[in-house]
Structure 1
Amino acid sequence: MIYLTGENVFTFNSGTEFSQFERLDLFKRQGKTAKLLLRNYNRLLAKDIATHKLDPTTVLNMYDYFQEAVGLQRKKCPLRLLKSMALKDHHIVGIDNNTSELRYQGNLIGKIAVMPETVGLVGDITYFDRMGHTIFKEYWDWRGFRSMVETYHPDGSIATQQFLKPTGEIALEITHMYLDGKILPTSYKLIAYRGKDYVFDTQDQLYTFFLNEINALEPGVFISDRRTLDNCVLNVINAKQKLAYIHSVPFVDDKKPQKGILPAYRTALTVGNFDQVIFPTKAEANTVLQVFESKLNVAVAPDSWVKVATSPKVLPKQKVLIYVGRIAEDKNITDLLKCFKAMYLQDATLRFKLQGYFSNTDYQTKLQQLVSELHLQDAVEFLPYQNEPKLYQDATLFLNASPSEGFGMNMLESMAHGVPIVTYAIDYTENNLVKNDINGYNVKNKTPKLLAKKALELLGDSENYHKLSKGALKTATKYDAKAFSAAWDLVVSE
């Protein structure tokens, strides 16, 4: 068994989660048994699993496990048919499509929120005292059972959280108390688990216990993909292998690795902790070994794989530039917009589509204001986060201005559709993935104008564009299912 350890299947995932999804899929295709073991509580997990088209039998959440809700089939729970509520005495008054009031003898005693993306199904119920203070709140799982109940301190902060089994029994209780002036979770009590109670100080201790329980049932190989979970994996008893995967660049200064490693990576990159530390490129592994004179046992394996299109692209009349990924400050999206402005001044028929999720609303507002200031409202479109192959199929060119990438999954995905890349030159992407005159261009002097200049040159040469599209497909074949499997077979020994 191969165990991938993760925090969650989020509504908005990062490249780390997508890498795990890809590995789960391919391990299954290879006939290997693998599971994604998740730490965080997520009452919408069943929905998120379906959204990302994951096999639910390959995803196991710690809270689901202790709540005895693994494999539970969904049963819709309309808020007006709640068995826990005596509707002869309590009256539900609809306010809008998302909220209803709960009244008793004419007094407001609670509010019911509709489950997201549903009509009339209960999501959570907040109860009030006579003074209007929140006294407790019930949360319902996507699958239709009351999953968690919160109580509150007088100041409104959380006091306790009780996680329930579908039968209504309490499986786990978290106590929140003042610690250094802040209300924080201070105790995790697992109740009557196999006939005993267990108490833990932190969620990570509970997660380590969970990992050991799973490994005791079926010993396997554990892969830590997130640095927040490294110590949990290291504390698994009798694992067949303990591996750490480094998805991004671990250095304090990307341009000067000798300045040191980011604190979050120290556990993973300490000699003797993990059986192997896996990097997406040989260049990054060599930098760690050489700069820090390390004796780490390293391996190289891609963090994703792609299905490669069969035909290269021909330069179209309507040219669409794209960026896919997190829309965040560290991805330097402002430079992309300035680059496109310079291109748009030369060719007003160009269009630019950016697909992903914003890191925060402030950054979203900042970018939308910049689009307005650059007078690009009719040419730039921000698309919602989703897995949409058609975007790549209709794309002409992929632009990237990120200053740092461990590999560049989004650029690889573009190349798998025959879309050439024009990017700022980045360590571990330049030459490893994006190669000048083969599948795109790396711009060493990192300015929007020079990025625009190189992109315009490419879009003005149909013969060269077709050649680079062919090169993109050829590069992508090095990361297809067969190549991915071969690399991972050298790393994982079940």
Structure 2
Amino acid sequence: MNYFVSENVFTFNSGTEHAQAKRVQLFTEQGESAQYVTRNYNRFLARDAESIGLHAEQVLNMYDFFQGVTDVPREEVSLRLLPQIPLDEYHIEGHGPNYSTINHAGRELARINVMPATVGLVNDIVYYDRYGNTTARENFDWRGFKSSVDYFHPDGNLAVQKMLNLAGETVIEISHMKVNGTLYPTMWKLLNYKGHDWRFNTEDQLFLFFLNEITAEHPGSILVSDRRSLDHVVADVQFAAKKFAVLHDIHTPDIKNPIRGKLYDAYLNVLERRVRDFDAILVPTPEQQADLQKRYPGVDFRVVPDTFVPQAQLAASRLRLPDRQAGNILFMGRLSPEKRPDQAIRALARVVKSVPSATLTFHGYPANAEILNELKALANQLGVTNSVIFGDYITGDALAAAYQRAQVIVQTSVAEGFGMNLVEAMSYGVPVVSYDITYGTRELIHDGVNGYVVANGAHGEMADRIVSILSDDGVWADLSAAAYDKAVTFNGQAMMAAWQQALQ
């Protein structure tokens, strides 16, 4: 079994989670066993995994494993059909679409909060004492069962979390205490596991125990660490046949000096302190491999693809220009300073002078509300408010539709580890205009063939290239055809062969 190890599948995921999910899909498509392994407790994991194209059998969560709920199908539970509430004695009173209360003898005993984006399904039930203080909260999994219970001190601080199996028995208990005035989880108890109780001081210690359990149960298993926050845990696993760590991003903030620049702190474990505990370090591009090999000549660095294009996508009909939204420029990625989305707006302000109908659509979650407000203010300042669309973070069919509408995609990042969004865009025939950055740009974009590479930070030059694409149907058609052809090189068979070689 191939286990790809990370913290979580989130509601809003970064490129790391998407790359990990793509790899699971690749291995599955090519007939290899693989699972996306997560540490964090997440009641919405089934929903979040489905949103990025993963099925239940492709995901393995530590808490689900110990709770015995890894393969439980979803069953919607309406708040008015909860078997634990005897309606002949208690009254459920609705207060709009978001919550109801449980009342008895004229007193409010509890509040039932509705699960987000559902109609009347139970998210949690909060219980109060006679003075209105919160005493407990029952938390329901997206799949419809009670998953955990939180107990609170009279001052409202969390005291104990209890994770339950389907019989309602506690299998994990997490104690919380104040340390120097700040509340922390301080102890994890695994109860009656294989007839014994186990105690851990940190969640990572419990996670290490879990990883040792699953690798011992499946001899010959391979572990791949995807998150730098978990490299030290994977490094300590005893029963894996092989252990690797895959890097998804540039390893230093000093983009002009990747060979000698100061490492990001998160990379110290994997590249220095614990590097000998891994069979090899995997990187997405030969360029990063060469830089790291010069920096650490005694370490085995291997190149693996950070994405692939599914066979179904490669077999789909190629879209023509009339099928698209004229003048649609796409920015796909997180709205954060290192992605420099403001540069895309500045480029658009120049583009609309030549192509007035051009629009710029952002799809990605903002790092914070401030950056979104700043981008909107910039669009207003440059007079392109009506030409900039701030779309939602999207996955699945909505993501595919965005690529199908686009006439060009732009990349303005300070640096990248690879650029899987560009490969995705090219698989829909979307030409790319990108700054010349480290890493991946020159590997993915052949200047003048499937897109254009312009000087880093030169938004004026970027605008000129976008105008040349939007203004000439023949230029667009040639670039689009080459983009489709480039995407074919990321087919599953070729990418699987690269992974198999790297994991030898």
Q: Is the 8 A contact 2:361 2:391 kept in 1?
A: yes
Q: Is the 8 A contact 1:312 1:470 kept in 2?
A: no
Aligned residue identity for 1:407: F
Which residue of structure 2 aligns with residue 233 of structure 1? 234
2:262 to 260, 263, 271: 260
Q: 1:73, 1:430 → 2: CA distance?
A: 42
Q: Is the 8 A contact 1:39 1:63 kept in 2?
A: yes
Q: 1:485, 1:235 → 2: CA distance?
A: 27
SS in 1 for 2:36: strand
Which residue of structure 1 aligns with residue 492 of structure 2? 481
Q: Is the 8 A contact 1:278 1:299 kept in 2?
A: yes
Q: 1:254, 1:273 → 2: CA distance?
A: 27
- 2:282 matches 1:278: yes
Aligned residue identity for 1:403: V
Aligned residue identity for 1:329: P
Q: Which has the higher helix share?
A: 2
Q: 2:89, 2:321 → 1: CA distance?
A: 69
Shift of 1:310: 5.6
Which residue of structure 2 aligns with residue 142 of structure 1? 142
Gaps of 5+ in 1: none
Aligned residue identity for 1:358: P
After superposition, give the CA deviation of every residue in 1:420-470 in whole Å (9 maximum; x if it has no partner).
Answer: 111111012232112211221222151332321222133333333332222
Which residue of structure 1 aligns with residue 271 of structure 2? 269
Aligned residue identity for 2:417: G
Which residue of structure 2 aligns with residue 50 of structure 1? 50
- 2:351 matches 1:343: yes
User: TM-score w.r.t. structure 2 length?
Assistant: 0.93
Which residue of structure 2 aligns with residue 107 of structure 1? 107
- 2:385 matches 1:377: yes
Aligned residue identity for 1:183: L
Q: 2:155, 2:236 → 1: CA distance?
A: 37
Of all paired residues, the percent bearing the same amino acid is 37
Q: 1:206, 1:436 → 2: CA distance?
A: 49
Q: 2:23, 2:245 → 1: CA distance?
A: 14
Q: Is the 8 A contact 2:417 2:440 kept in 1?
A: yes
2:297 to 294, 298, 301: 294
Aligned residue identity for 2:457: K
Q: Is the 8 A contact 1:312 1:466 kept in 2?
A: no
Instruction: Choose 73-82 or 38-47, whichever is displaced more.
Output: 73-82
Shift of 1:419: 1.2
Instruction: Choose 151-160 or 199-208, whichever is displaced more.
Output: 151-160
Q: Is the 8 A contact 1:312 1:473 kept in 2?
A: no
Aligned residue identity for 2:303: V
Which residue of structure 2 aligns with residue 198 of structure 1? 198
Instruction: Choose 223-232 or 122-131, whichever is displaced more.
Output: 122-131
Shift of 1:111: 1.3
Which residue of structure 2 aligns with residue 364 of structure 1? 372
Aligned residue identity for 1:21: A
SS in 2 for 1:432: helix
Gaps of 5+ in 2: none
After superposition, give the CA deviation of every residue in 1:342-362 in whole Å (9 maximum; x if it has no partner).
Answer: 211322111221112222223
Give the aligned CA root-mean-square deviation in angstroms.
1.8
Q: 1:413, 1:143 → 2: CA distance?
A: 31
- 2:330 matches 1:322: yes
Aligned residue identity for 1:264: A
Instruction: Choose 97-106 or 200-209, whichever is displaced more.
Output: 97-106
Q: 2:122, 2:469 → 1: CA distance?
A: 54
Shift of 1:87: 2.6
Instruction: Choose 2-11 or 463-472, whichever is displaced more.
Output: 463-472
Q: Is the 8 A contact 1:267 1:273 kept in 2?
A: no
1:429 to 440, 451, 458: 440
Q: 2:282, 2:325 → 1: CA distance?
A: 43
